[in-house]
Structure 1
């Protein structure tokens, strides 16, 4: 099953929360028009190296099972563009990264 819901991270800061239920795991994404964070299925190295010209703003969290987990988990890896353009860092909490792109 796929669920797509609006998500208010802070007052007036809206994102889209997407959950794709897969066998034995879930694919979790929180996004807006600028960038996104998601579960460990995201290949940050591919985005930062092979697709660097696209300047994707993205971060990955590991071990999350719900959208709430994703909001409160530290980002294990972020793209070069997310670092350079929005000051994202590894270890930053997902919610804090999203606030910087709202």
Structure 2
């Protein structure tokens, strides 16, 4: 099942997406600038692949989260190089990162 809902974070609206997969969930929160996600996807590919790096994808990932609420409050384990222009860094919470792109 795929669930897509609006999510309000300190007065700013984002889109929360949950994809139920076998034995795990894919979780994402996004707006038109960037997104955070769980570790079910790979951030490194956007930093390591030259073609993808040119896209300047703003993304970060958290590990060990099971809900959208946990994703908001978990520290980001990795962020793309392009996200650093918005002040993103590993260790900041998903909420902090999202507010930097709102």
TM class by smaller structure: over 0.9
SS at match of 2:54: helix
Higher mean alpha-carbon deviation, 68-77 vs 44-53, is at: 44-53
The TM-score, its normalising length taken from structure 2, stands at: 0.96
Q: CA deviation at 1:91?
A: 0.3
RMSD of aligned Cα (Å): 0.6
Structure 1 runs (4+) deviating above 4 angstroms are none
| Residue 33 in structure 1 maps to residue 32 in structure 2 | yes
Q: Deviations over 1:48-77 (max 9, x none)?
A: 121100000000000000000000000000
Give aligned pairs, total.
100
Residue 17 (1) aligns with residue 19 (2): no
Shift of residue 42 of structure 1? 2.2
User: Displacement, 1:16?
Assistant: 0.2
1:76 matched to which residue of 2?
Answer: 77
Within 1, Cα distance between the matches of 2:3 and 2:43? 24
In the TM superposition, 1:1-102 aligns within 5 A as: 1-11=1-11, 13-50=12-49, 51-83=52-84, 85-102=85-102
Unmatched tracts of structure 1, length 5 or more:
none
- CA shift, 1:44, in A, is 1.1
Please, which runs of 5 or more residues in structure 2 have no aligned partner? Answer: none
